[in-house]
Chain A
Amino acid sequence: MTNMLEIKDLHAEVGGTEILKGLSLTIGEGEVHAIMGPNGAGKSTLSYVLSGRDGYEVTSGSITYRGQDLFELAIEERAAAGIFLGFQYPVELPGVSSTTFLKTALNAVLRQRGEDELDAVQFMKRLRVHTKSLNISDDMLRRGVNVGFSGGEKKRNEILQMALLEPYLAVLDETDSGLDIDALKVVADGVNALRGPTRSMLVITHYQRLLDYIVPDFVHVLAHGRIARTGGKELALELEEKGYGEFADAPHGSEAA
């Protein structure tokens, strides 16, 4: 089996402060990995480094995505190559209609993948398949992107984007935050429907709860900028019981943001 993602000894800084301090992680094709960890361990930093956000500076190490050096790709090229980041806090874009946004994104990705773009009719047809199962109303599609959406609607909208863009690697950053149990189930169902032998997922979460619904193949504990422990899904339960106490002490006395 080829690897989807290989992160080797990754060091990354934000605003001159080192957050990731030698993180290594390998994700195989079709695998679902969960990254858990205390607040400030560097979980969101990892998701932003993977997606290429400005201000997250990699100082050493490597990330190989489907055999390719990830750092050579711009943000949009990573998306086109099949990396999807589900945002912890999806951004509101007043004045950009949801439908326009979704169609522009899908066609941009199709174009970069060398596939035919969809016209309005083809696009709406494809959109309908997903909006129905994710319970996304026409009203949401008419509004500005994420504008006036509830927490649950925002997260469902993230999963809708993921479903449309058909990524190889989905990075879901705290997808459970701000969701009640019903909303969580809808989101988890949406994610599970997208699981498949060629699609890998990296589920970032603070709480074990999400992993009851999106059951991972591997669980990693991220603490102080590196993977402190790796196990199966049972590790999540153990963390739920014991908390992150054993990972609390910073080995070098540094604070991670």
Chain B
Amino acid sequence: MTLENYQAQLAQNLPQTDLPWLADLRQGAADRFASIGLPDRKVEAWRYTNLKPIQARLFEVGPFEADTFQADRVRAGDTTPALLSDSHRMVFSDGLLIAGAQDLPDGVSLKGMAQVLAEDPEILTDHKQGIGAIRDLPLPTLNRALSRDGYVLVLEPGVIVAQAIEILFQSSTGAAYPRNLILAGAGAQVSVVEHYLGTSEDDYLVNGVTEVHAATGAHIKRYKIQRDGPGASHIATLAGQLEADARFENFDLNLGAKLARSEIHMALQGHGADASLNGVYLLRDKQHCDNAILMDHVVGATNSHQDYRGILDDKAHGVFQGKITVQPDAQGIEGHQLNKTLLLSDTAEIDSKPELEIRADDVKCSHGATAGELDEAGLFYLRSRGIPEAEARQLLMAAFIVETLGHIDDEAIRDVMDGLVTDWMAS
């Protein structure tokens, strides 16, 4: 199946086909994708990542079941795995909502995208086109054409959500195009965990988009835990816009998938906005993980921080492309970026490309990238104290990323991440 018969075979699989603006939006996206196609490696942003493996699966979008969003009915018998013992949970399976969140506090709305389109599409009025920075990019464009569902989280001003929101995206086959939206009103606070989990070894595709709008003084923490299946391709695009004094903390833990790409476009649009984007990638076998970040200091007195660290074994391939842009007159900004990779084998590879584009003069920016092996002297020291080699290696690996994990300030979530990281190191 290809885009040529989009209307005939693909569009009808989507929810709310009778909304004219939506049908137009999708068709426009489909047309655009048909003309631009997938980026190849001549495109600088995709220089290190080959998308050929996803080509065959792009259009395997299953049918939309109209009653999917009345999914609370399956809540009682829900046996999907939860990472947090105490959270508001929502579950998607192969791109469709199967279990909705319950008992949400006042001022919080968390629904499936399909449900929002059916029940109150006006929520989306200002967000139909999506954030400009990613609107015309090939993969978000394809997502706009093919997305069946996703989550929409709306926080009214001043709402502080005490429990974290945990959203499970489990996948086993085909192609899923989750489209997620977080709208945080002024001063609202929330922690969201997006957990991508593979339940098969199939070469399925996830191509998701998450958009974040943080109004003045809002504080959003978003954690992505990527544990897609060993044959899967996981493509994710995150775009955020932060107004004055808004804070956004993002943490990407990349463990799964054969091919992973996590692209982030963050715009610091109001004075005092602050973004902290951090991540850990742990790869082995022939896994490929590409983190690409574009941090845009649009106005002055904004801060950003990036700390990405990875451990690569076997023939794994890591990529880090991080760019900090400081727009003209965005004075008094601070932007820092760090990428460190530990290579456990001679055949593992990291391509690290930090970039600064500064068009203002009163700025404090830094970037750094290192790649190295496990410290032989440290390993000997630990073993000379009786610590078996495997355990000593784990201690040194854990030490390598402990600072990055330290950026997670929700204790329960950090414990979950610690546990997953420890499991990876021990296996």
The interface of chain A, by Cβ under 8 A from chain B, is 51-54, 74-76, 78-80, 85, 87, 90-91, 93-96, 100-101, 104-106, 108-109, 112, 144, 161, 165
In addition to A75-B383, A144-B399, A165-B386, 5 A-B residue pairs with Cβ atoms within 8 Å of each other are A76-B387, A79-B385, A87-B384, A95-B400, A95-B403
Per the 8 Å Cβ criterion, residues 356-410 of B in contact with A are 375-378, 380-389, 391-392, 395-396, 398-400, 402-403
Determine whether the beta carbon of B389 is less than 8 Å from that of A76.
Answer: yes
Determine whether the beta carbon of A94 is less than 8 Å from that of B385.
Answer: no
Determine whether the beta carbon of A108 is less than 8 Å from that of B387.
Answer: yes
Q: Which of B378, B383, B384, B391 contacts A93 (CB 8 A)?
A: B378
Determine whether the beta carbon of B387 is less than 8 Å from that of A105.
Answer: yes
Determine whether the beta carbon of B381 is less than 8 Å from that of A90.
Answer: yes
A75 and B384 in contact (CB under 8 A), knowing A54-B376, A91-B378, A95-B403?
Answer: yes
Determine whether the beta carbon of B400 is less than 8 Å from that of A51.
Answer: no
Determine whether the beta carbon of A101 is less than 8 Å from that of B386.
Answer: no
Determine whether the beta carbon of B396 is less than 8 Å from that of A96.
Answer: yes
| Minimum C-beta distance from A45 to chain B (A) | 14
Which residue in chain B gives the minimum CB-CB distance to A96?
B399
A101 and B380 in contact (CB under 8 A), knowing A76-B388, A161-B385, A165-B385?
Answer: no
Which residue in chain A gives the minimum CB-CB distance to B394?
A104
| Minimum C-beta distance from B399 to chain A (A) | 3
A105 and B380 in contact (CB under 8 A), knowing A96-B395, A96-B399?
Answer: no
A109 and B386 in contact (CB under 8 A), knowing A93-B396, A96-B396?
Answer: yes
Which residues of the other chain, A, contact B392 by a CB distance below 8 angstroms?
76
A75–B383 CA distance with the chains assembled, in angstroms: 6
A105–B400 CA distance with the chains assembled, in angstroms: 19
| Minimum C-beta distance from A94 to chain B (A) | 6
Q: Which of B377, B382, B383, B400 contacts A101 (CB 8 A)?
A: B382
Determine whether the beta carbon of B384 is less than 8 Å from that of A104.
Answer: no
Determine whether the beta carbon of A76 is less than 8 Å from that of B386.
Answer: yes
A108 and B386 in contact (CB under 8 A), knowing A93-B399, A94-B399, A95-B398?
Answer: yes
Determine whether the beta carbon of A105 is less than 8 Å from that of B377.
Answer: no
Which residue in chain A gives the minimum CB-CB distance to B395?
A96
The interface of chain B, by Cβ under 8 A from chain A, is 375-378, 380-389, 391-392, 395-396, 398-400, 402-403
A2–B294 CA distance with the chains assembled, in angstroms: 69
Determine whether the beta carbon of B384 is less than 8 Å from that of A101.
Answer: no
What are 10 A-B interface contacts by the 8 Å CB criterion?
A: A51-B384, A75-B389, A76-B392, A78-B384, A79-B383, A87-B381, A93-B375, A96-B399, A101-B395, A108-B391
State the 10 A-B residue pairs at the shortest beta-carbon distance, nearest first. A95-B399, A79-B386, A109-B386, A105-B385, A91-B381, A75-B383, A96-B399, A108-B386, A95-B402, A76-B383
A54 and B385 in contact (CB under 8 A), knowing A95-B399, A104-B391, A108-B391?
Answer: no
Determine whether the beta carbon of A105 is less than 8 Å from that of B386.
Answer: yes
Which residues of the other chain, A, contact B388 by a CB distance below 8 angstroms?
76, 108
Which residues of the other chain, B, contact A75 by a CB distance below 8 angstroms?
380, 383-384, 389
Which residue in chain A gives the minimum CB-CB distance to B388?
A76
Which residue in chain B gives the minimum CB-CB distance to A75?
B383
Which residues of the other chain, A, contact B384 by a CB distance below 8 angstroms?
51-53, 75-76, 78-79, 85, 87
| Minimum C-beta distance from A212 to chain B (A) | 28
| Minimum C-beta distance from A105 to chain B (A) | 4
A96–B388 CA distance with the chains assembled, in angstroms: 16
| Minimum C-beta distance from B393 to chain A (A) | 12
Which residue in chain B gives the minimum CB-CB distance to A82?
B386
A104 and B381 in contact (CB under 8 A), knowing A74-B389, A80-B386, A95-B402?
Answer: no
Which residue in chain A gives the minimum CB-CB distance to B400?
A95
Which residue in chain A gives the minimum CB-CB distance to B377?
A91
Which residues of the other chain, A, contact B396 by a CB distance below 8 angstroms?
93, 96
Which residues of the other chain, B, contact A109 by a CB distance below 8 angstroms?
385-386
A108–B383 CA distance with the chains assembled, in angstroms: 10
Which residues of the other chain, A, contact B400 by a CB distance below 8 angstroms?
95
A93–B392 CA distance with the chains assembled, in angstroms: 11
Which residues of the other chain, B, contact A87 by a CB distance below 8 angstroms?
381, 384
Which residues of the other chain, B, contact A51 by a CB distance below 8 angstroms?
380, 384
| Minimum C-beta distance from A109 to chain B (A) | 4
Which residue in chain B gives the minimum CB-CB distance to A162?
B385
Determine whether the beta carbon of A93 is less than 8 Å from that of B381.
Answer: yes
| Minimum C-beta distance from A222 to chain B (A) | 21
Which residues of the other chain, B, contact A108 by a CB distance below 8 angstroms?
385-388, 391
A100–B382 CA distance with the chains assembled, in angstroms: 12
A144–B381 CA distance with the chains assembled, in angstroms: 14
Which residues of the other chain, A, contact B381 by a CB distance below 8 angstroms?
87, 90-91, 93
A105–B395 CA distance with the chains assembled, in angstroms: 11
| Minimum C-beta distance from A18 to chain B (A) | 22
A178–B399 CA distance with the chains assembled, in angstroms: 28
| Minimum C-beta distance from B138 to chain A (A) | 39
Which residues of the other chain, B, contact A112 by a CB distance below 8 angstroms?
386
Which residues of the other chain, A, contact B378 by a CB distance below 8 angstroms?
91, 93
| Minimum C-beta distance from B141 to chain A (A) | 41
| Minimum C-beta distance from B342 to chain A (A) | 11
A78–B386 CA distance with the chains assembled, in angstroms: 7
Q: Which of A85, A90, A104 contacts B387 (CB 8 A)?
A: A104
A68–B180 CA distance with the chains assembled, in angstroms: 65
A104–B402 CA distance with the chains assembled, in angstroms: 17
A91–B399 CA distance with the chains assembled, in angstroms: 14
Q: Which of A52, A53, A75, A109 has the most CB of B within 10 A?
A: A75
Which residue in chain B gives the minimum CB-CB distance to A86?
B384
